[in-house]
Structure 1
Amino acid sequence: MNRWDESSPIRFLGGKVLLYILGVILFIGVNILVYTRISYLFTPLVVFIETVALPVILAVVAYYLLIPLISLLEKFGMRRIYSILLILSLVAGLITLLIFLLLPFLEKQFLSLAEELPQYVIQLVENVDAWFKNSIFSNYYNNMFQDVEGILSQLPNTMSTYASNTLDGITTFITTITDVIIAIVTLPFILFYLLKEGYKLPEMILRVFPPKVRPDLRHVFKGIDHQLSAYIQGQILVSVCIGIMMYIGFVIIGLDYALLLAAIASVTSVVPYLGPMIAITPALIIAIVTSPFMLVKLVIVWTIVQLLEGKFISPQIMGKSLHIHPVTIIFVLLTAGHLFGLLGIIVAIPGYAILKVVVGHLFVLFKRRYNRYALEDNQYEQSE
């Protein structure tokens, strides 16, 4: 056989391995086609995945937060099972303490804000309306306002049209609450076994694959573990720091509902870039209605916190472990949110990090094969 026939594109791209991969892709495509035709047969599987997704995700997050403490206790000679029980007991006690100390106060502030927020919004609309009517845009604004009044006059008919969907909305809300309760109840059990035997999971998965590919897969698993650990631990610490700084800043400028608004900012900061923008919205409404000077002070506090987080806190805590461009993060968040909703936004960045590790390793394998065949070609040309 001619030497160049042996170096055909199929052989260069992987030979039998490439054909195997193409066969797997074809098999997956056929399964997707079958699923779209008889999706009702897979409804129990979809329901199962939707049910276990939330507690599993929460358990994985808690696992990466607690595993460093358990590893530290093991280094001091404590058995793993006792380390797990001790850490879980401390966490349960801390959560209970926070519930009894902070939850009533946050609940009071939340109910008060929910009651007064419509008034803040109405006051904001009135202020904006008065400003536009006395500005150089008054003629355009009056014409536009007439159109708005026409739309508002049709609002009762529109509301009656959508009233029939109220029952569906209530059903969806009840289903969501049920899923959350199931997640909270099952979370401790999943977390316990994940902490106890989670380190065995990669090796159990590797046994399914041929021994030849296990070293590469082990390297991929280590990369995924590193990415998830760095992101989850770092993002939680960054969110806590943002909440503390926001609370201090809100207290200094005298903003109402400082603790509640800081808690909202801390929770939403788990979502990069988009979270802080969402968190600042209620604070902006309150500040605008309070006084223009309060708005200026709020903007200063928010700017200082974002600068500290972006220039000092995130680089020190998270470093450059993910190597993801901010524009890429925004596109990933928007796409995942459009496809999978709130859950998609939460898991978008970790999922992208995992995909990046897998694709990066596949590219390394491709370059390794390319270099090998390039070396063989050079040796063949020299022998000529």
Structure 2
Amino acid sequence: MAWWKEKCTYRYLFLSFLIGLILFFLYLIRGLFVPFILAIVLVYMLNPLVERMEKRGSPRVVAILILYLGVVIVATSLLMYGVPRMVNQLEKMVENIPLYTDQVEEIVRNIQKRFADSSMPPGVQQIVDERIRWVESRVLAIVRKSMDLLMALLSNLFYIALAPVLAFYIMKDLKLIKNWTRSIVPKELVEDVFYLARKVDDVFSNFIRGHLTVVVIVGILSSLAFMVIGLEFAAMFGIIAGIAELIPYFGPLIGAAPAVGIALLHSKYMTLKVILAVLIIQQVEGNIISPKIMGNCMGLHPLVIIVALLAGGHLFGIAGMLLAVPLAAIIKIIVSFVWRKLI
């Protein structure tokens, strides 16, 4: 029988058409990805606990609802305590922005005056002046992007609130979803597809659970340390330092930059204390916290991680740096699998 008359050929064609249709549909609703991404994060964080409770005899739906109740209690407590403090810090920061701006402008004027009074060649002096103006424009651009991101989060509160609902139904019917996926995949491909799915699942589970745990720990430690040394906006800078931990290698520098910048405007002694606090926390994180929680969960050489981070940052900015490492790990898994199949 000719290959175009075989039943499996039509099945492959239909499967390819179905995958293409799904991808096109996902492209059309790309603006709604936020609740789906947050739902997946919730599933990865909560599903292991749901499965443990289910093994101990608790119905799956009841286990999910109990965990949701715990999450709601913790989140409500954090919001009741944390939101007023964050609002107060934001209001104080807004009030202090003119003062900080004047201080920065004074520093810039002193630098420009120092270069103007020096015997530096005019061409070199012009380059230095251009670089100073470039730094000023970059800082302003970062501030504007931060404000845009904050406004975007506020405007998408409804979609963000959908994440727990989506996560509930995904966890509730997770076994049905797996069985349905197995039923539509051709039998001769089931083993390979699910092998790749397990490997990719391991990458995402290690990345999400491990990194989010490190983010929370570093955020709390940084906030407490900044409070103890008397840095303004300690909680805010602690949160920034924690979130920056999602970016390997460069994250600690990015997260520490705002705190060090504010400390510089106060005094050299405050700057020294902030730098020492950041160094101590990073030593604890690098030598104790991360090795115990994550280990080498991505299985990538440090050089590969650095190249992936640089490429992701160059192409897609901060979002690219956040996703560069897990995507690089997934590409490694797929390439290794295809290579083993070909040889």
Q: Which of residues 207, 220, 223 is equivalent to 1:231?
A: 207
Deviation, 1:111, is 2.4
> 1:53 and 1:340, CA in 2 relative to 1: closer, same or farther beyond 3 A?
farther
Deviation, 1:61, is 0.9
Q: Which of residues 215, 232, 238 is equivalent to 1:262?
A: 238
* TM-score under structure 1 length normalisation: 0.70
Instruction: Please state if 1:88 is matched with 2:64.
Output: no
The aligned runs of 1:226-375 (5 Å cut-off) are: 226-366=202-342, 370=343
Aligned to 1:219: 195
SS of structure 2 residue aligned to 1:322 = coil
- Kindly indicate whether the alpha-carbon contact (under 8 Å) linking 1:132 and 1:141 is maintained by their aligned counterparts in 2: no
Aligned to 2:141: none
Higher relative contact order (CA 8 A, sep 6+): 1
Deviation, 1:350, is 2.5
> 1:256 and 1:353, CA in 2 relative to 1: closer, same or farther beyond 3 A?
same
> 1:45 and 1:239, CA in 2 relative to 1: closer, same or farther beyond 3 A?
closer
Question: Percent identical across equivalent pairs?
Answer: 30
1:164-202 C-alpha deviation (Å, 9 max, x unpaired) = xx9xx9xx9899458723421321221111111224434
Q: Give the whole-Å Cα distance in 1 for the aligned partners of 2:329 and 2:127.
A: 50
> 1:141 and 1:179, CA in 2 relative to 1: closer, same or farther beyond 3 A?
farther
The amino acid of 2:267's aligned partner reads S
- Kindly indicate whether the alpha-carbon contact (under 8 Å) linking 1:247 and 1:258 is maintained by their aligned counterparts in 2: yes
1:224-258 C-alpha deviation (Å, 9 max, x unpaired) = 11111111100011111111221232133222221
Aligned to 1:46: 27
Q: Give the whole-Å Cα distance in 2 for the aligned partners of 1:315 and 1:225.
A: 20
Q: Give the whole-Å Cα distance in 2 for the aligned partners of 1:331 and 1:113.
A: 36
The amino acid of 2:31's aligned partner reads T
SS of structure 2 residue aligned to 1:140 = coil
Q: Give the whole-Å Cα distance in 2 for the aligned partners of 1:204 and 1:358.
A: 23
Q: Give the whole-Å Cα distance in 2 for the aligned partners of 1:118 and 1:146.
A: 28
Aligned to 1:122: 102
The amino acid of 1:234's aligned partner reads G
Deviation, 1:283, is 0.9
The amino acid of 1:327's aligned partner reads L
Q: How many residues align?
A: 313
Aligned to 1:162: none
Q: Give the whole-Å Cα distance in 2 for the aligned partners of 1:135 and 1:52.
A: 51
Quick check: which has more Rg, 1 or 2? Answer: 1
Q: Gapped runs of 5+ residues in structure 1?
A: 1-19, 32-41, 153-165, 371-384
Q: Give the whole-Å Cα distance in 1 for the aligned partners of 2:284 and 2:117.
A: 39
Q: Give the whole-Å Cα distance in 1 for the aligned partners of 2:318 and 2:272.
A: 32
- Kindly indicate whether the alpha-carbon contact (under 8 Å) linking 2:42 and 2:164 is maintained by their aligned counterparts in 1: no
> 1:305 and 1:295, CA in 2 relative to 1: closer, same or farther beyond 3 A?
same
SS of structure 2 residue aligned to 1:106 = helix
Q: Which of residues 72, 77, 80 is equivalent to 2:52?
A: 72
Deviation, 1:147, is 8.7
SS of structure 1 residue aligned to 2:173 = helix
Aligned to 2:120: 140
1:255-305 C-alpha deviation (Å, 9 max, x unpaired) = 222112111211232233333322222211211111111112211111121
Cα RMSD over matched residues? 3.6
1:45-100 C-alpha deviation (Å, 9 max, x unpaired) = 6341x223211111111111111221221122111010011111221222122111
> 1:332 and 1:198, CA in 2 relative to 1: closer, same or farther beyond 3 A?
farther
The amino acid of 2:162's aligned partner reads T
Q: Give the whole-Å Cα distance in 2 for the aligned partners of 1:296 and 1:141.
A: 35
Q: Give the whole-Å Cα distance in 1 for the aligned partners of 2:226 and 2:121.
A: 35
